[in-house]
Amino acid sequence: MEGIASLWVQAIIGTLVLFFGGGIIALILGVLVGAMRVSPIPIARGVGAVYVNWIRNTPLTLVMFFFAFAIPILLGQRINAIALATVALGIYTATYVAETIRSGVNTVPVGQAEAARALGLTFGQVMSLVVMPQAFRSVVPPMMSVLIALLKNTTVAAGFSVLNLGSVSANLSEHREAGGTGNIFLEMVSGANQLLTLLLIAAIFVVLVLLLAWLQRVLEKKWRVER
């Protein structure tokens, strides 16, 4: 039973590492690409557009496959599977973050940016001091949708030898006992009853999504007051 409990803990930790690590990469890279998408510099806009259209239109499984198999070959060394999966998730999700940021920037009146430039502010200062603070307020709901999608997409890493909630059911097969135990909870956590195990996994994801929804309400309330 200790081995089963340890497997669940590692699976939950694996999912959280993929989510938070991928989320940090996606937010940082997505903001940069989103800024490039609205940049007055044609080359920057072009690079941002190519990145978004190329990565976003590629299935996540293929992106994950590239990082899991091609990157180690290109670098000539083995790399931690969860690290590769985290980077893949971050790069893939960054495209959706970038488009969310771009849509938020488009909600800011053009006159405000023009007035800021008339005062002598650079493009970077206009974006960081005038446009982005207002854009972030309007993108909270769609950004949370992107993060929820990221949380669900962590299960894709299960197909690439990364232990997380998406792979815990298969890994429990090594500890599965023949027949029922008569205890619903034990059958659920041990994998003796696959349906109950899947319901438990789904319940954990529901709890995590509800936490993100609560965070969204907190941020919306906070920034609505600041307006």
Domains of the chain in sequence order: 2-169 (1.10.3720.10)
pLDDT for 178 = 43
pLDDT at 83 over 60: yes
Show Cβ contacts of residue 220 under 8 Å, excluding neighbours closer than 6 positions. Answer: 140, 141
Structure tokens at 151: 């949380």
Predicted confidence band of residue 106 (pLDDT cuts 50, 70, 90): confident
For 128-184, write each residue's pLDDT tens digit: 777 777 777 788 888 999 999 999 999 999 888 888 988 887 777 665 554 455 566
Q: Which pLDDT value is given to residue 111? A: 77
Would you state the pLDDT for residue 26? 96
Handedness of CA 78, 82, 87, 91 (dihedral sign): positive
Average pLDDT over residues 192-210: 85
pLDDT, residue 179, reads 45
Please provide the size of the chain in residues: 227
How far is residue 127's CA from residue 125's CA, in Å, rounded to a whole number? Answer: 5
- What's residue 227's pLDDT? 46
Q: What single letter denotes the amino acid at residue 82?
A: I
- Average pLDDT over the chain, rounded to whole? 84
Tens-place pLDDT, residues 49-78: 999 999 999 999 999 999 988 888 888 888
Model pLDDT, residue 220: 80
pLDDT, position 161 = 83
How many Å separate Cα 10 from the centre of its chain? Answer: 19
